[in-house]
Amino acid sequence: MKDIAPQLARILLVYDRNYPIPPGLLRATELAATSLGVGLTGGGARNGDELEARVRDFVRESNGGLIVLFPSPFASTHRQRIISLAAAHRLPAIYPLASYAEAGGLISYGVNTPAMWQEAGSYVDRVLRGENPGELPVQEPRRVDIVVNLRTAKALGLTLPQAFLMRADRVIE
């Protein structure tokens, strides 16, 4: 986020208040923010109206950005509303899945869901060939993708550094 908006001083974390935040994810986010001198504000909400109120309160001060921490039923249900709020308030935002960037969000940074399904398919194959599911190792996602929407960057008045664009797995123009 600091690569694309160096003036950033505060981040609103959007999450579902009915869905617990994975402690490791929250701690890693807090450590990263501290190391960059960025303040975090909790933007947990139970519904769309509560989310809008959190965003309205947050944008009273300048130099803010928004991060949807992880995919959840709330984030999926309100995906377009979250993207629209970020655009309306000119907040640079990062989302957890490529589908957000494809729908008009600025940047997604998250697991490659199709790759995960392919890996799951190999497990199904192994079980169908007779392997004991209880003996198969638990695997974590192997691939994290960055997807950048340049149309959204332009609408927000952001010029993304070439070095950042080169790290992207996909750029939407």
Find how far residue 83's CA is from the centre of its chain: 11
Q: Where are the domains of the chain?
A: 10-115+144-172
Is the model's pLDDT at 153 over the cut of 90?
yes
58 three-class SS? helix
Is the model's pLDDT at 21 over the cut of 90?
no
Taking only the tens place, the pLDDT of each residue in 59-83 is 999 999 999 988 888 999 999 999 9
The residues with which 108 forms a beta bridge, in sequence order, are 95, 147
| Maximum separation of any 2 CA atoms in the chain, in Å | 60
Q: Please state which of the four CATH numbers 3.20.20.80, 3.40.50.2300, 3.20.10.10, 2.60.40.1930 is assigned to the domain occupying 10-115+144-172.
A: 3.40.50.2300
**pLDDT the model gives residue 139:** 81
Is the model's pLDDT at 43 over the cut of 90?
no
What's the CA gap between 146 and 85, in Å, rounded?
21
pLDDT band at 20 (very low <50, low <70, confident <90, very high): confident
pLDDT band at 163 (very low <50, low <70, confident <90, very high): very high
Taking only the tens place, the pLDDT of each residue in 77-117 is 999 999 999 999 999 999 999 999 999 999 999 988 888 88
pTM for the model stands at: 0.86
What's the CA gap between 29 and 66, in Å, rounded?
13
